[in-house]
């Protein structure tokens, strides 16, 4: 017999999921949001996304090649994903060089410095975004007007959160349906709650993510908003305020795509819920009482820093150690 025998210990079969297939699924899940954004803001959206993706991949390739050495890691698509997520956190009319700087910070500083995929303590795309927000506040917070309608009739101005914070609009005037479908100014990828939810459902179906983090983030934001509304007047606010906060700013993008980043989120279901509630509460505190109108990025980065601690102290339910039915 001319057969050669492979010998390796069990298991001898492997699930079809790989790092690359997971990243590809997340990218597919982002497509609806990209499409809506392109309709709302035009072809500029594709330009910004392309620049972010190309620069992120190129930087990872160059660092791996010349600084770290070893096999290239770009084929696992994680740099592509970071590029898309970074782009989704930018206005569509941002100059190209700011995108490149953001990519250098995201991949070069936040990811490769720590050893590449799997080793970074903070979400790379968010580090890139927060760096740009602090370094280029003007470019990062002026958004073009959406091409189709707006969240307040005949209103041309800032994002819902910024307008509310500046008391330029009243919560009662806001068209929540417009906010749900993407007719509001904001970062490219955050405006269309509907499309982001569709992506989230796709990822749940493909078992890329579990429900724990998105539900904990959005649920705690809604509960927080409800309680605040109850203390400040009640009435219509009781449902309008939670709905507004779930649809405004980066709530959906953050809860579904940024907070669920594998590397920087906890490992156990219980840990994920603690982490998600932390993000929701910090976001609401910043939104309501902080200096910035939006706090999702800061909240996720803050909770990223707590993740190792959560992993250390929050353990899974152990088989055979819980009370037994007799």
Partner 1 sequence: MKTFPIGGVHPSDNKKWSNTKAIEVLELPDVVNIPLGQHIGAPATAKVAKGDKVLTGQLIAEATGFMSANIHSPISGTVTAVDMQVNGQGLRQMMITIKREGDEWMPEIDRSAEIKRECDLDSAAIIAKIKDAGIVGMGGATFPTHVKLSIPNGCKAEYLIINGVECEPYLTSDHRTMLERGKELLVGVEILKKALGVEKAVIGVENNKPDAIANLNKIIKEEKFVVSVAPLKVQYPQGGEKQLIAAITGREVPPPPALPIHVGAVVCNASTAVAVYEAVQKNKPLIERVVTITGKELKEPRNLLTRMGTPISKLIEMAGGLPEGDVKVVNGGPMMGRPMVNIDSPVTKGCSGVTIYSGKEAQRVNVESCIKCAKCVSACPMGLEPYLIIRLTQKHMWEELEAEYITNCIECGCCQYSCPAGLSLLDYVRLGKQTVMGIIRARAAADAAKK
Positions that interact with partner 1 (CB under 8 A): 1, 3-15, 17-19, 21-22, 73, 76, 78, 116-119, 210, 262-263, 265-269, 272, 311, 315-322, 324-326
Cβ closer to partner 1: 14 or 167? 14
Contact between residue 39 and residue 181 where contact means Cβ atoms under 8 Å apart: no
The CB-of-266 to partner 1 minimum distance in angstroms stands at 8
Cβ closer to partner 1: 239 or 262? 262
What are the Cα distances from residue 169, in Å, to 58, 143, 146, 156? 43, 17, 17, 11
Cβ closer to partner 1: 37 or 307? 307
The CB-of-126 to partner 1 minimum distance in angstroms stands at 16
Torsion of CA 67, 68, 69, 75, to 10 degrees: -110
Give yes or no for a cis peptide into 11 (omega within 30° of 0).
Answer: yes
The CB-of-1 to partner 1 minimum distance in angstroms stands at 7
What are the two backbone dihedrals, phi and then psi, of residue 271, each rounded to the nearest 5 degrees? -60, -40
Cβ closer to partner 1: 19 or 139? 19
The CB-of-276 to partner 1 minimum distance in angstroms stands at 14
The CB-of-25 to partner 1 minimum distance in angstroms stands at 11
Cβ closer to partner 1: 78 or 181? 78
The CB-of-268 to partner 1 minimum distance in angstroms stands at 6
The CB-of-307 to partner 1 minimum distance in angstroms stands at 9
Cβ closer to partner 1: 43 or 71? 71
118: Cβ contacts below 8 Å, ≥ 6 apart: 263
Cβ closer to partner 1: 137 or 316? 316
What are the Cα distances from residue 54, in Å, to 33, 34, 48, 50, 103? 19, 16, 10, 6, 9
The CB-of-19 to partner 1 minimum distance in angstroms stands at 5
Cβ closer to partner 1: 141 or 268? 268
248: Cβ contacts below 8 Å, ≥ 6 apart: 159, 160, 161, 164, 179, 184
Cα end-to-end distance, the chain, whole Å: 57
Closest residue by Cα to residue 142 from 156, 124, 126: 156
From the CA atom positions of the chain, what is the Rg in Å? 21
Contact between residue 249 and residue 161 where contact means Cβ atoms under 8 Å apart: yes
Cβ closer to partner 1: 78 or 150? 78
The CB-of-208 to partner 1 minimum distance in angstroms stands at 9
Is 15 strand, coil or helix? coil
Q: Which long-range contacts (CB under 8 A, 24 or more apart) does 128-134 make?
A: 128/82, 128/86, 128/89, 128/102, 128/103, 129/86, 129/89, 129/90, 129/102, 129/297, 130/297, 130/298, 130/301, 131/101, 131/102, 131/105, 132/90, 132/98, 132/101, 132/102, 132/105, 133/297
């Amino acid at each position: 017999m001319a057969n050669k025998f492979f010998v390796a210990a069990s298991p001898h079969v492997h699930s079809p999921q790989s790092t690359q297939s997971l990243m590809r699924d997340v990218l597919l899940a982002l497509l609806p949001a990209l499409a809506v954004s392109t309709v709302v803001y035009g072809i500029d959206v594709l330009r910004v996304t392309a620049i972010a993706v190309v620069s992120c991949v190129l930087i990872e390739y160059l660092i791996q090649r010349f600084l770290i050495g070893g096999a290239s890691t770009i084929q696992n698509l994680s740099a592509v994903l970071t590029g898309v997520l970074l782009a989704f956190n930018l206005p569509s009319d941002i100059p190209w060089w700011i995108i490149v700087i953001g990519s250098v910070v995201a991949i070069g500083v936040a990811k490769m410095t720590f050893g590449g995929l799997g080793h970074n303590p903070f979400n790379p795309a968010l580090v890139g975004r927060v760096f740009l927000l602090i370094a280029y506040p003007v470019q990062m917070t002026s958004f073009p007007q959406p091409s189709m309608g707006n969240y307040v009739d005949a209103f041309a101005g800032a994002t819902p959160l910024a307008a509310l914070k500046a008391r330029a609009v009243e919560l009662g005037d806001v068209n929540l349906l417009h906010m749900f479908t993407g007719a509001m100014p904001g970062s490219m990828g955050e405006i269309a709650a509907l499309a982001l939810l569709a992506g989230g459902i796709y990822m749940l179906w493909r078992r890329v993510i579990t429900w724990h983090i998105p539900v904990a983030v959005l649920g705690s934001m809604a509960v927080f908003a409800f309680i605040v509304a109850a203390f400040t007047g009640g009435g219509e606010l009781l449902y309008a305020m939670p709905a507004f906060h779930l649809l405004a700013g980066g709530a959906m993008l953050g809860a579904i795509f940024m907070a669920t980043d594998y590397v920087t989120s906890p490992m156990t279901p219980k840990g994920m819920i603690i982490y998600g509630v932390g993000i929701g509460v910090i976001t609401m505190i910043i939104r309501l009482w902080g200096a910035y109108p939006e706090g999702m990025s800061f909240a996720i980065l803050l909770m990223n820093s707590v993740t190792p601690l959560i992993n250390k102290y929050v353990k899974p339910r152990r088989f055979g150690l819980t009370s037994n039915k007799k």
